[in-house]
Amino acid sequence: MLRRRVIPCLDVANGRVVKGTNFVDLVDEGDPPELAERYAREGADELVFLDITAAPEGRGTLLDIVERTARRAFVPLTVGGGVRSVDDMRDVLRAGADKVGLNTRAVADPELVTRCAARFGSQAVVVAIDARALAAPDPAIPSGFEVVVNGGRLPMGLDAVAWAVRAVELGAGELLVTSIDRDGTKSGFDTDLLRAITTRVPVPVIASGGAAGPDDFVAAIRDGGADAVLAASIFHRSEYTIAQVKAVMAAAGLPVRTLDQEATA
Amino acid sequence: MAPAAPRVVVVDYGAGNLVSIEQALTAAGARVSRAVTGDDIDGPDLLVVPGVGAAAPAMDRLREGGFLGPIRAWIEADRPFLGICLGLQLLYEGSDEDGAQTLGILPGRTVRLEGAPTLPHIGWNQVVRRWSHPAFAGIADDADFYFVHSFVGQPDGPSADALILADTEHGSRFASAVARGRLLGVQFHPERSGSNGLRLIANVVAAARAAAPSLA
């Protein structure tokens, strides 16, 4: 049976793992390759590496750090931030990424999703959607969730659920859905946002933004319909281990991968 | 005197991440080089064809690199071979993904996963073995490995059952590992499957060394 994944996220700025509240006030949390190795050893099912300053600074991904990170972790690595073309995606895959996340650039150039999927397959294309709830109803955004880009700085006037459906039609093989309202706030995942998207798309959805503890992971899957759950600060600060989160998920009846049946290499 | 490290050639045809497979092979004690043309397959102990993505562009690149003949000859001579994901799918006769005609070394076609609750099939899933095989020595009979794919090779014909080494379920049951002689093909990614995957790769490298003509 397919396991529900627990994915630590490495938000990388200037070559260091950082974490801030609502994408600002960044705090240094460590070295990307070191953290990647530690999380892989502790049972991370996958890792996400987001170069969060690439898009705002208008530059490409930090390929040397991607490669050092990929060499240290024998679990899948998704890299996002700064991918602006099929050639950029090729370079990031060749540096050791298994999947590439497209966010800001996909909103500006949706056909980029199609071009990347045609070249590398849909399974390698993750469209990352940062969304926030509208303060007041807007007929242009019927779901009530709006897409924001550039690291959560810029609202696009685009309905997040409609964009999710379109991204999959264009060729996305997976969606990484982040609630900007919840990100870094430890108030739990936005299961309404997740549910609105997971009921509309056939591809796996990774929930992101707001994890405070293991119960939130269970809720993102059970109530939000997510296939995988991503978190950063609760792991970086050792508030919970991956094993503790998975134990709670398993007790709630969710299939998880545990390390007790692993081979010794 | 310590025996020379087994030499492994990884076929580089532009189909994604080679860093992780090279790193895993190196961790298993192999000396690894990349083949960018068929001529670079210069008698190693093990040939690895990795890859993700669609069949047609991959076949075009293999053809342009002059790989088709050398890969066929290698497998026909029953030399140690590991095909991973697309590198396994390409061994079948053709792919429903884009209608591509593929190598036709294994009987059957690459088809879309049937009845899958989510597609692509992404994540860790159980690989349930039908029979014992040295590549899986020391690995649990239903161990988790990492998958990322929408299509899968489906063996058919009289030899299909003998070919299927392991099955996995995602909506329906599919062949997640096949083996014939010294050929091993896996739909999952051992290079991304933590310690189970590293163990499998170490087993494959060790078996290739044992199969080397100089030691036969």
- The catalytic residue among B121, B149, B170, B189 is B189
- The catalytic residue among B22, B85, B121, B149 is B85
Residue B177 domain boundaries: 7-215
Closest approach of B129 to chain A, Cα-based (Å): 14
Is the ipTM beyond the 0.90 threshold? Answer: yes
More confident residue, A153 or A43: A43
Grade residue B59 by pLDDT with cuts at 50, 70 and 90.
very high
Residue B1 lies in a domain: no
For B110-147, b/e burial (b = at least 16 CB within 10 A) is bbebeebebbbbbbbbbbbbeeebebbeebbeebbbbb
Which residues in chain A are contacts of B52 at CB distance < 8 A?
98, 120-121, 123-124
Statement: residue A22 has pLDDT above 90 = no
Statement: residue A39 has pLDDT above 70 = yes
Total number of domains in chain B: 1
Residue with tokens 């690894």: B32
pLDDT digits (tens, 9 = 90+) for B98-130: 899 999 999 999 999 999 999 999 999 999 999
Beta strands in B36-120 (DSSP E): 46-49, 81-84, 108-112
Grade residue A59 by pLDDT with cuts at 50, 70 and 90.
confident
Residue B141 lies in a domain: yes
Domains and CATH numbers, chain A: 5-251 (3.20.20.70)
Residue B148 lies in a domain: yes
Distance CA(B65)–CA(B59), nearest Å, equals 10
Grade residue A115 by pLDDT with cuts at 50, 70 and 90.
very high
- The pLDDT of B80-88, averaged and rounded, is 97
Statement: residue A121 has pLDDT above 50 = yes
Find the CATH number of the domain harbouring B186: 3.40.50.880
- Cβ–Cβ below 8 Å for A75 and B192: yes
Closest approach of A97 to chain B, Cα-based (Å): 6
Hey, what are A83's tokens? 């991918």
DSSP assigned state of B213: G
- Cβ–Cβ below 8 Å for A263 and B150: no
- DSSP, residue by residue, chain A: -PPPEEEEEEEEETTEEEEEETTEEEEEEE-HHHHHHHHHHTT-S-EEEEETTHHHHT----HHHHHHHHHH--S-EEEESS--SHHHHHHHHHTT-SEEEE-HHHHH-THHHHHHHHHH-GGGEEEEEEEEE-SS--TT-TTSEEEEETTTTEEEEEEHHHHHHHHHHHT-SEEEEEETTTTTT-S---HHHHHHHHTT-SS-EEEES---SHHHHHHHHHTT--SEEEESHHHHTTSS-HHHHHHHHHHTT-----GGGPPP-
Of A148, A123, A23, A261, the closest CA to residue B53 belongs to: A123
- Mutate which of B21, B144, B201 to disrupt the A interface (most A C-beta within 10 Å)? B144
Which residues in chain B are contacts of A76 at CB distance < 8 A?
146, 148, 189, 192
Of the partner residues A40, A173, A228, the one whose CB lies closest to the CB of residue B194: A40
Residues 6 or more apart whose Cβ sits within 8 Å of residue A35: A8, A10, A17, A29, A236
Closest approach of A157 to chain B, Cα-based (Å): 29
- Cβ contact A118:A171 at 8 Å: yes
Beta strands in chain B (DSSP E): 7-11, 31-35, 46-49, 81-84, 108-112, 121-126, 128-129, 144-149, 151-155, 164-170, 172-180, 183-186
Active site members of A: 11, 130
- Say how many CB pairs under 8 Å bridge A and B: 137
Quote the pTM value.
0.94
pLDDT digits (tens, 9 = 90+) for B138-187: 999 999 999 999 999 999 999 999 999 999 999 999 999 999 999 999 99
Residue B121 known to be catalytic: no
More confident residue, A58 or B82: B82
Residue B121 lies in a domain: yes
Closest approach of B108 to chain A, Cα-based (Å): 22
Distance CA(B139)–CA(B136), nearest Å, equals 5
Residue B36 lies in a domain: yes
pLDDT at site A262: 77
Residue B129 lies in a domain: yes
Q: Return the bridge partners of A131, or none.
A: A147, A179
For B23, name the nearest residue in chain A, comparing CA atoms only: A71
- DSSP, residue by residue, A154-202: EEEEEEHHHHHHHHHHHT-SEEEEEETTTTTT-S---HHHHHHHHTT-S
Residue B180 lies in a domain: yes
